[in-house]
Structure 1
Amino acid sequence: MHKKTFVALVLSIPLCLLLILQSAYKPWEEGMFPLSEIHKVDLKKAGLKISVNEIYNPKANSLIDALVNVGGCTGSFISNEGLIITNHHCAFSAVQLASTPENDYLNKGFVARGREQEIEAKGLTCRITDSYDDVSDRVLGAVTQISDPASRLKLINDAMKNIAAEAEKKDPSIKAEVSEMFIGKTYVLFRYKTIQDVRLVYVPNRQIGEFGGETDNWVWPRHTGDFSFMRAYVAPDGSPAKFAKDNIPYKPKKFLRVNPNGTNEEDFVFILGYPGRTYRHRPAQFIEYQQKFVLPYVADLYDFQNGVMEKAGKNDKTLELKLATRIKRNANTLKNYRGKIQGLKGIDLVSQKKKEDAGLAQFINGNVSLKAKYGSLMADIDNLYKIINGDAQRDLWFTQIYTSTTLITVAKNINAFKAALDAQPAAQKQAFFEQNLPKLKQILEKNYESYDFDVDKMIFKRMLEDAAAFNLTQKVDAAGKISGRGSDVKTVIDQYVETTLGISKLNNQSYVFNTILLSPKSVANYNDGVMIFEKEIAKQITELSPEKDRREGLLNKLMGDYVNVKERFLQKNFIPDANSTLRLTYGHVRGYKPADATYLRAYTSIRGIIEKGSSGNPDFAYPEQIRTLWEAKDFGPYAKKNLNDVPVAFLYNMDTTGGNSGSPVMNALGELVGVNFDRSYSATINDYAWNESYSRSIGVDIRYILWVASKIDKADFLVREMGVKL
C-alpha cells in the first residue's frame, strides 16, 4: 500500500507572548503531532520505548494501520479478525436502532457469543486512512489572480472537489477528501478505505457504559465503563461490501496488542486518533463570537429540546428508545458548551487574545514591508466580525431550524427533490424519478428515525418564538409572516403550528412513501403549509447567500494572512488546527489541581462506583453484581496493587478533543492500556486553548474493561481473542 499517512499537529497559539517567555513554553508539551514530523520530537526522552518507525513507517505496516474512524469517533483493531474497540457512546446510535422494548440492548447490553449472533451496526462505517498528499499549490494556484472574495472561495472549493474526484477516478476503491488545514493557506488530499459492514459484538449494560449519566459527563472523578466492541466485515474477496450474510471478518494490516497490566501514575502514554475541530489559530473576535452567540444559544436550545423529549418519552418505552440518541447528543453538546463558556470566562481568553492581537498589530506597523502588505489586516478582521455579529442570531437560527424540527427537514428534502424533478425535460422525468427516489427514501428514513409529532410541535413553536424576538435587521421572513398576524405573538404561533403540522401529510411516513412519492405527478401535485414554510426559508437563505459567500471568502483570505504574519511575529511555524484527520498526542498519566487546596488523583476504582451508588441519584445506579464481586474482592488478575481494587478510569495530560472518543491509549511499548472517552470540565475549552495545568483527558482503564467483560458479562471468548490469558 502506498502510504504517507498525514497526521497534523495542533499547537495552540499562545495566549500571550509574555506568558510564553515567562513559562519557558515548550511547543511539544501540547498538540497533536504530524507523524511525518515525529522524528524531530524527542519521544524517547519523554518515555517512548519503541522506535518511532513502529508508530509510523511509510515503507511498512505500523500502529497507524490499526486505527479506524468509526461513526465520527476513533476505534482500533485489537485482533486479526477485525475486532474493534471504541467507546460505548460511539456505538450508542447503532445499539438504539437495534433495540426494541422486547430486546432492549440499549439498557440491558448485548453480547454476541458467536459470529452468527453479531448484529448490523446501522449507520456506522469504518474509515481507514490510506495516504495523503499536500495539494496546497494546486488549490491556491487556481486563485492567484482572483481578488473577489466570493469568487475566490468558490474556486478554492471547486478545486478541492475536483482534486478529490480525480483521486477517486484513479483509484475507485478509495474515498478522497481535500481537507483545509489552515484557512486560505494549506490543503491536503486524504485517501481513505471504507468498510461498509460493521457489526455489534459486545456492548455492556447501560448502567456500566453510561454510569454517571449527565451528572458525571465532563467531570472527574469518573467511573464510566465507556467501551464497546464491533467487528468489521468485507466481501469474501476482501473488497468492501454492504452488510451481507456471506461477508467475512476483515483482516487488518495491523492490530494492537492489549496489555492487561495497565499503567501507573507518571507512565508515558500516547494516543492516535481523529480529533474533530479546534480553533486555536483564530483572533479575539472569533472567540468573542463563540462566547457571546454560538455557545449560549445552542446550549439553551438543546436544553429546551431535551426537556421536551424527556417528558415525551417518560411513559412510552418505544418513544424513549427512539429519542435516546438525540437526547444523548444534545446533552453532551450543551454541557460541553456551558463548560466552554465557564472556561473562556475563567481564563478571560478574549482579553488575552486581544492583547496578543494588539502585539501583532504593533509588530506589523513596526516593519515597513509588513505594514505595506498587512497594514489593514487587523482592522479588516475587526470590521468583518462587526458585520458577522450583526446577523449572528439569524444565522444561528437558520443553522438550527433544520436539525431542531424534523418535519422542516423532511419538507426540505422533498422540496429539493421536487425542484430537481421540475427542472428535468418531460421525457426524462420518469427516469430521473426512478434513479433518485431510492436515495431520497433513504434520507427520509433517517429523518423519521427520531421523529415524534408532539416533540416537533413544541420545538417548532420555540423556534418561531425565537425568530419573532429578533430585531428588524435580522428578520426571518417566513417566521415574520406568522408572528405578524396578531398582537398576541405566542397565541398566533401556537395556532399556526397546531394547524399547519396537524394537517400536514408529512406526519405519516407511510403516506409520504406510498402516496406522495408514488410518481413524478404525485410529487409535483403535493404541497402543504410545512413545505411552503420551508420553501420560504430556503428562498431567504438563497437571497442572503451572495453576501454570506462574500464574507466567508474574505474571512478565508484574512485568516490565511493572519496565520502567515503571526508565525513571523512569534518566530515559529504553527501546525493546523484539528479537522478530523489522523493525529498523535502524547503525555503522562497524571492527576491535577483544579482549585486551591484540591488535588484529584489519576485513578478511580470500583469502590467509587459503590460510593456514588449510595447517593440515590438514578445516574449512579449500577448492576448489583458489581457490588457482589467487589465485596468478595473477586478482582481476578485486574486489580491495581496500590488501590487494592480494579481501576475504572484514569487521567492523562494529553491534548484531545471531540473525535478522539474511542482513541486507543497506548503505553511506551505501543500496547493498548485504555480507551479515551472524555475530558475534565475545565478542559472543555481545549478547542480554543490548551494548558497542562487544567487540561486533562479521561480514559477507561483496560483492566476495568477486561474485568467487566470476563466477570460481569462472561465474554471470556473476547478476552481470549484479544490475546489476554485468563
Structure 2
Amino acid sequence: MKRWFICVGLLLGLSAPLRADEGMWMVHALDGRLAARLDSAGLRLDVGELYDEGRPSLSDAVVAFDGGVGSGSVISDRGLVITNHHVAYGDICALSTSERDLLRTGFWARTAEEELPVEGRSVWFLRRTLDVTRQARQLRARMEAEGRWGPMSLRRLYAELERLYGGDSTLEVRCTSLWGGERYLLHFYEVYRDVRLVGCPPASVGAFGGDADNWSWPQHKGDFALYRVYADSAGRPADYSPRNRPLNPRRVLTLSRRGVREGDFTLVLGYPGRTERYAPSYAVAEKQQVENPVVVANRQLRRQLLARRMERSGEVRRAYADEYFSLSNFTDLARWENRCLQRFDVVARRAKEERRLAAWLRGDSARRAAWGDVCAELQRLYAARRTAQRQLVNMRESWFGASRAWLVANRLAALAGRLERQGRDSLRAGDAELQSLHRIAAPLQGGYDAATDRALLSAMTERFTDSIPRALWGEAMAARFDAAGGDAARMAAEAFDRSVCSDARRFEAFFAGGRSLAEIRRDALVELVGSVSVSRFTGAVREAERRAGGDLHEARARYARALYAFRRAEGRLQYPDANSTMRLSYGRVRSLAPSDGVSLSWRSTAAGLVEKYDPGDERFRLDSTLRRLLSEGAWGAWGEEGVLTVNFLTDNDITGGSSGSPVLDARGRLVGLAFDGNRESMAGNFWYHPDLARTVCVDIRFVMWTIERYAGADWLLRELRFE
C-alpha cells in the first residue's frame, strides 16, 4: 500500500486538540494522529480506504467538475456521476430551448442516445499527489539570483514544475502552494471531457425556494443532477464521440438505505474552492468595509434589473436564469458574510492572535530576521491602498461582464491586441482567427436578448461613471460621455446600438471577407471597452503599496509562513487554506440554535414542501404530480415512520466548490450531497464558527424517491448499489 505523506507535524502540528468538526484536511496526508481522531469521532474504516494511490479507495469515486467549480461522486459501474442541481444549472440552461425547457420540466434519459452531451464540461479524477517543496525552493532561489522574480513569478514557477514533472504524462498536472510557500505540491489528474447529462429534476424541485431560501435553514431542495462520463474503447479520456463507452470507474460509492440520525458521524470528500484562514485582520477588515459593500450594491442592481425583465418574458427567463442565479448567490453571500463578520467580531479575533504573534516574533532574533515586523507592515500596506482598492473593486463589479455584448467586445479587443503583437494589421479570408470568430460571438447565441443586454450595459455604465473618478475612465469614455451630454446610460446605449458586438447577424456580416485591425478598433463598443484599462486600476493599487514601502502579496505570504510557524510552536493542529484540491472534513449530524430563543431541527421533511407551496410565487411552486405524491405520503423504501427526510444539517467544514460533494456515513456509504451553508456560517472564508457553522445536505433517500416515484426513472436505480 502506497501513501504520500507530508512530514509529521506539517498538517497536524504537535498534539493539541482541535474541535473535531473544523478543518478541510489534505486527503493524501492523513497520518496516524488524525486517523486516531477520525476513529474517535466515529469513522469505521481504515484511513487507507479513504485515499490510497496503490489500490482503489473512496477518493477514486470523488470528482471535481472543470478542475474545481463543483464536486461530485461516481455511483455506478457505468460512469454515472451525481452532483448538485445548481452545479449543473448552467448546463441545464444551455441545453434548454423554447420547445424543451429543462428547467421547467426536468430531464431523464432512458437510453444512451437520449443523454445530452455537454460542451466544455470536464470531470477530474485525482490520481497522485507529490511533495515538490525542495525543488520549488531551489527553482525560486535560482530565479531570484537571476533577477527573474516578480509579481507574476509564482505562476511561472508553477508552470516550470508542471512542465518538469508532467511533460511526458497523459495526466493533467497542477501545482499548488500551502501556507504562503511553506510547502509545494503537484497534483496529477485524469481528465474526462465526454460528459453527458443523464437526469435532473425541474428547478421547482432542484432549486425549490430559490433565492428566498438561499443560505437559510430549513430548506427543502432536491438539489441533485446526474451526468455520465464516457471514455474511449480502452477506458481512456477522449473527446466526445458516439463510439465512446461509459467509463468503468476504479471505485463506486454504495448508497445508504438507512440514512442518518442526529449525532451520526459524517464525512465530506470534495474540492472546496478558496478560504483565507491565514489572512491578517487587515484583510478581513478590507473585505468587510471596502469590498463587500461594493459587491452587494452592484450585483443587487443587476439582479433587480434582470428580475423585472424575467418576470415579463419566459424567453428572457430562460436566457438569463443562470446569470440571475449566480448574481443572487454571490449577492447574498457577500451580504451575509458581512453580517457574520460583524456579529462574530472576526477582525478583533484575528487581531488578538496577531498581538501574540507579534510578541512571539519580537522574542527571538532568528524569527525577527526571518519575518520582520510583518503585522505592522501589513497594517501600513492595507491602510495605504484602501481608496485604490475600492476603485478597483468598483471597476470590476460595474464594468467587467456588464453585458454579453460587452463580453464580445472585450474578446474582440483582446484578439486585435494579440494580432497586433504578431505584427499583423488585419484579418483576411482564410485566416484561422477569422474562422474561429464564432467562438468570440458565442454570448450572442442561445437565447440572447438584445433589449435586456442593452439595459444591463446602460445601467452598469452609469454605475461606473458615478463611482469611478473621471481620471480613471480613459480618453475614449470621457469624450463619449461629454458628447452624450454627461448621460452615461445614453452613451452606453448609443455604443450598443452602433456596435457589431451586440447583434449576431451584424457581427457575421461585418467580418465577411475580413477586416483591418483599425476597423475593428473603431467599433463603438470595442472602443468604449478598450478605454477602461484594468492595469490603470491595478497599477494604482500597487503604487499605493509601493509608496507605503512594501509589496502586499509578498507580505501576505510571509505572514502566512510566520503564522504557521507560530501556531505550530503552540502545538496547534493545522490544515492549509482550501485551494480547489481534494479535502476531507469530518463532523456529525447536528441541530441548530442560530440565535437567542430559536431552536431548529437537524432535518427538514416532505411536509415542509407542502407548507411552503405558493402558486403565486415561482420560487415555491409545485406541479400537480408532486403535490399529489406528497399528499399520498407513499415514501416506499425511502421513508421511515411515515416521514421522508428532504435535507439535513451537519457541522462539516466546507466552502465554495464543495457543492455536490458526497456526504458519507461512518462506513463510507453515501447518505447525502452537500449543497449549501447556513447564514451563520458565512464568515467561514476567514473563520469557522464551532457552534453555528452548518453544511446543508440533500438526503440521498429523497433523491432516490424523486427519481423513482416523481420522475418514474426507476431504470436509473437499477445501476446503483444499496446497503
Which runs of 5 or more structure 1 residues have no equivalent in the other structure?
14-20
CA 1:327 to 1:482, structure 2 compared with 1: closer, same or farther past 3 Å? farther
On the 8 A contact 2:441/2:501 being kept in 1, the answer is no
On the 8 A contact 1:175/1:192 being kept in 2, the answer is yes
CA shift digits 1:642-693 (9 cap, x unpaired): xx21100000010011111000011111011111111111112211111221
Which runs of 5 or more structure 2 residues have no equivalent in the other structure?
none
Measured after TM superposition, the shift of residue 482 of structure 1 is 4.9
Task: Pick the aligned partner of 1:359 from 345, 356, 359.
Answer: 356
On the 8 A contact 1:62/1:254 being kept in 2, the answer is yes
What corresponds to 1:17 in structure 2? Answer: none
Higher mean displacement: 529-538 or 470-479 = 470-479
What corresponds to 1:420 in structure 2? Answer: 418
What corresponds to 2:264 in structure 1? Answer: 267
CA 1:259 to 1:210, structure 2 compared with 1: closer, same or farther past 3 Å? same
Matched, 1:445 2:442: yes
Task: Pick the aligned partner of 2:643 from 628, 642, 645.
Answer: 645
Q: Partner amino acid for 1:32?
A: M
CA 1:589 to 1:28, structure 2 compared with 1: closer, same or farther past 3 Å? closer
What corresponds to 1:109 in structure 2? Answer: 106
Matched, 1:308 2:305: yes
Matched, 1:40 2:33: yes
CA 1:95 to 1:38, structure 2 compared with 1: closer, same or farther past 3 Å? farther
CA shift digits 1:617-661 (9 cap, x unpaired): 4322123333323333311011133xx211000000100111110
Task: Pick the aligned partner of 1:705 from 703, 711, 723.
Answer: 703
CA 1:580 to 1:12, structure 2 compared with 1: closer, same or farther past 3 Å? farther
What is the distance in 1 between the residues matched to 2:538 and 2:683?
A: 35
CA shift digits 1:335-370 (9 cap, x unpaired): 111110110111111122222222222232233433
What is the distance in 1 between the residues matched to 2:40 and 2:162?
A: 39
On the 8 A contact 1:10/1:32 being kept in 2, the answer is no
On the 8 A contact 1:5/1:130 being kept in 2, the answer is no
What is the distance in 2 between the residues matched to 1:531 and 1:469?
A: 21
CA shift digits 1:560-618 (9 cap, x unpaired): 32123223433246321001110000111111211122211111111111111159543
Task: Pick the aligned partner of 2:504 from 509, 528, 548.
Answer: 509
What is the distance in 2 between the residues matched to 1:28 and 1:149?
A: 45
What is the distance in 1 between the residues matched to 2:610 and 2:524?
A: 54
What is the distance in 2 between the residues matched to 1:488 and 1:25?
A: 66
Task: Pick the aligned partner of 2:345 from 344, 348, 359.
Answer: 348
What corresponds to 1:718 in structure 2? Answer: 716
What is the distance in 2 between the residues matched to 1:144 and 1:381?
A: 24
Measured after TM superposition, the shift of residue 9 of structure 1 is 12
What corresponds to 1:693 in structure 2? Answer: 691
Matched, 1:382 2:374: no
What corresponds to 2:632 in structure 1? Answer: 632
What is the distance in 1 between the residues matched to 2:678 and 2:379?
A: 33
What corresponds to 2:586 in structure 1? Answer: 586
RMSD: 3.3
* SS of equivalent residue, structure 2 residue 88: helix
On the 8 A contact 1:127/1:193 being kept in 2, the answer is yes
Matched, 1:537 2:532: yes
On the 8 A contact 1:405/1:456 being kept in 2, the answer is yes
* SS of equivalent residue, structure 1 residue 557: helix
What corresponds to 1:320 in structure 2? Answer: 317
CA 1:39 to 1:603, structure 2 compared with 1: closer, same or farther past 3 Å? same
What corresponds to 1:527 in structure 2? Answer: 522
Number of aligned residue pairs:
710
CA shift digits 1:91-148 (9 cap, x unpaired): 1111111111111111110011112111112332111112122223333333337399
What corresponds to 2:232 in structure 1? Answer: 235
Higher mean displacement: 135-144 or 237-246 = 135-144
Matched, 1:55 2:43: no
Higher fraction of helix: 1
On the 8 A contact 1:12/1:690 being kept in 2, the answer is no
Matched, 1:370 2:367: yes
What corresponds to 1:682 in structure 2? Answer: 680
On the 8 A contact 1:212/1:620 being kept in 2, the answer is yes
What is the distance in 2 between the residues matched to 1:399 and 1:563?
A: 27
CA shift digits 1:391-444 (9 cap, x unpaired): 12221133332222322322221122122223335699869x734455553243
CA 1:470 to 1:305, structure 2 compared with 1: closer, same or farther past 3 Å? closer
Matched, 1:661 2:659: yes
CA 1:376 to 1:31, structure 2 compared with 1: closer, same or farther past 3 Å? same
CA 1:447 to 1:396, structure 2 compared with 1: closer, same or farther past 3 Å? farther
Q: Partner amino acid for 2:33?
A: K
What is the distance in 1 between the residues matched to 2:306 and 2:120?
A: 22
CA shift digits 1:702-724 (9 cap, x unpaired): 11111111111111111111134
What corresponds to 1:89 in structure 2? Answer: 86
Summarize the alignment of residues 130-141 of structure 1 with structure 2, pairs less than 5 Å apart.
Answer: 130-141=127-138
On the 8 A contact 2:391/2:468 being kept in 1, the answer is no
On the 8 A contact 1:110/1:205 being kept in 2, the answer is yes
* SS of equivalent residue, structure 2 residue 25: coil
CA 1:484 to 1:435, structure 2 compared with 1: closer, same or farther past 3 Å? closer
* SS of equivalent residue, structure 2 residue 152: helix
Matched, 1:574 2:536: no
On the 8 A contact 2:53/2:127 being kept in 1, the answer is no
